[in-house]
Structure 1
């Protein structure tokens, strides 16, 4: 035995051979159990695991990686979205980390905010430093997704990509949520429904606009569209454009809560009452939506469910199971603005 600095002998670290002797099986059997292989009977597996626990055996991570060709590490790659989404990003970090760490994975957090960071991430994945990638891609044109897909490492994506991809993704039913919001306004007797529409290069905005337009078409109504940016000020400007037209709307559907709150501000500026003169519906159910006066009717997006679905989707891919993209339902939350 080796001695420590005080002269006392340190106990030998348990090895595969030690565990095999305690369990009464071969070294190869212990190796198969430790590496998670299926070719071991339940009784033998239980005996080996009991010996592992009794001896305090800890597998050598480097040696295990050589055998299994796995690192038990996953990259969580984040791009900061232009449209805010702080609650969603927070949920992704919290729940993805919790689920994957619970499955024995180490999480490497990587920020994809520059071209150089994209190159660094691709090199890291190409070198097989991780077994899989959870990717929150940028809002705009995205080459990172396909570059990572070409590495052969399992990748899962938050949000539907702008270009059709073989990479499975998790998204919400944006079109369905917009349909529900528009149908709600129609059911309240509103017939002149304007839409305050965020940037059209965002896939989620495109889907929400399409859902809104399809619902108007079903009732033979013509759309009234004003384009906006991402913040409340641009939402107010777009709403002013709608309200100053020849036939002002009696309702507004906005593709985000921030834009809807801006539209409510524009209504107040013109002396209009919400919802009596102008009903307003948003999308997202951010915290501020329930704090406006009146409180904002909106479409709730399930942030935690998206994060959990992402983690489970990656685990399925790592296990070699067939996977397909996941689209989660949204829910209309009716408040006083309609």
Structure 2
């Protein structure tokens, strides 16, 4: 049975969430007509006020769930994925606008949890899982993912525009044979960047050539050798994240190719390791701290405001030129 939320009571009664809370907790300042209307809706919907409204009235912590896939959870726990760790730290840092208690969990754990709002981190959860989470009635915000056709707020990077910036830079440097190495295209970020690469190459009148790789692949040497054998030596390679880009450079080195003298390489994300790599990696910067901050701001708006229409917030990216491009 679907759990009725304070948001639904407020919507049906055509009042704010704060007003519902005040009615339930006996605030004498509420108009009698408003009180009767809200209590009628509470009764009709069968809303239980204990978990949420009393926390608002008593100023107790809001409970925020950060939902991740098992793979991303593992990367966060052993600190091997800077991208999601930075976003997560930003969520924790900016939780203090309201008193919040944050808990990370897997989607399968949600039926045993009670949250006032949910942030879903990453693009690995299937559409049916997202629909189940949305149907709970809790406020939900997606980070680093957008699901067309579902009314969920999303905070994403403009990967499409960022890819165009990267490819256009290589084109401006006189390169024509530019290939793209990307992760699984069912994931929003990779597909967005792939589409930008294709658009930039076709607009310039060149034939795009893209290769899919597992974004956690340990040895890019095999893929590099395959590209060299089937396509020949490219002028430049645009890679859909920095981790893969650094492995591509290692793969090129193992095939006796120099970066950037023989082939230029551009990554995406601008993780700290990109600047420290040899050679320092030219990349497209994503604003990870801002993504975490906006996710919390948007979620709190959805929890407290009377009516917040779902939106997709797309943050511009920025090309950072270093030594992996000539």
The reply to whether residue 156 of structure 1 matches residue 141 of structure 2 is yes
The reply to whether residue 105 of structure 1 matches residue 100 of structure 2 is yes
Deviates more, 1:227-236 or 1:209-218: 227-236
Match of 2:319 in 1: 332
Match of 1:22 in 2: none
Q: CA RMSD in A?
A: 3.2
Are the aligned partners of 1:232 and 1:258 in contact in 2 as well (CA < 8 Å)? no
The reply to whether residue 121 of structure 1 matches residue 110 of structure 2 is yes
TM-score, length-scaled by structure 1: 0.72
C-alpha separation in 1, matches of 2:171 and 2:221: 23
Match of 1:226 in 2: 211
- Report deviation, 1:270: 2.9
What number of residue pairs does the alignment pair up? 277
Question: Counterpart of 1:283 in 2: which secondary structure?
Answer: strand
- Report deviation, 1:231: 2.9
Match of 1:51 in 2: none
C-alpha separation in 1, matches of 2:131 and 2:59: 22
TM-score, length-scaled by structure 2: 0.75
The correspondence of residues 123-202 of structure 1 with structure 2, limited to 5 A, is 123-124=112-113, 129-137=114-122, 139-202=124-187
Question: Counterpart of 2:237 in 1: which secondary structure?
Answer: strand
User: For the structure 1 residues 168 and 63, does the alpha-carbon distance in structure 2 shift closer, same or farther, using more than 3 Å as the test?
Assistant: closer
Are the aligned partners of 1:235 and 1:261 in contact in 2 as well (CA < 8 Å)? no
C-alpha separation in 1, matches of 2:52 and 2:158: 45
C-alpha separation in 1, matches of 2:177 and 2:89: 42
- Report deviation, 1:69: 11
Are the aligned partners of 1:196 and 1:239 in contact in 2 as well (CA < 8 Å)? no
C-alpha separation in 1, matches of 2:253 and 2:93: 44
User: For the structure 1 residues 131 and 186, does the alpha-carbon distance in structure 2 shift closer, same or farther, using more than 3 Å as the test?
Assistant: same
Match of 1:286 in 2: 271
Match of 1:6 in 2: none
C-alpha separation in 2, matches of 1:311 and 1:130: 14
State the Cα deviation string for residues 29-52 of structure 1 (Å, max 9, x = none). Answer: xx96xx8x8x69xxxxxxxxxxxx
Are the aligned partners of 1:78 and 1:110 in contact in 2 as well (CA < 8 Å)? yes
C-alpha separation in 1, matches of 2:110 and 2:141: 15
The reply to whether residue 77 of structure 1 matches residue 67 of structure 2 is yes
User: For the structure 1 residues 134 and 299, does the alpha-carbon distance in structure 2 shift closer, same or farther, using more than 3 Å as the test?
Assistant: same
Question: Counterpart of 2:268 in 1: which secondary structure?
Answer: coil
User: For the structure 1 residues 328 and 62, does the alpha-carbon distance in structure 2 shift closer, same or farther, using more than 3 Å as the test?
Assistant: closer
The reply to whether residue 87 of structure 1 matches residue 72 of structure 2 is no
Question: Counterpart of 1:130 in 2: which secondary structure?
Answer: coil
Quick check: which has more Rg, 1 or 2? 1
User: For the structure 1 residues 78 and 237, does the alpha-carbon distance in structure 2 shift closer, same or farther, using more than 3 Å as the test?
Assistant: same
Name structure 1 gaps, 5 residues minimum.
Answer: 1-30, 41-60
Match of 2:12 in 1: none
Name structure 2 gaps, 5 residues minimum.
Answer: 1-20, 31-49
The correspondence of residues 174-323 of structure 1 with structure 2, limited to 5 A, is 174-231=159-216, 233-319=218-304, 320-323=306-309
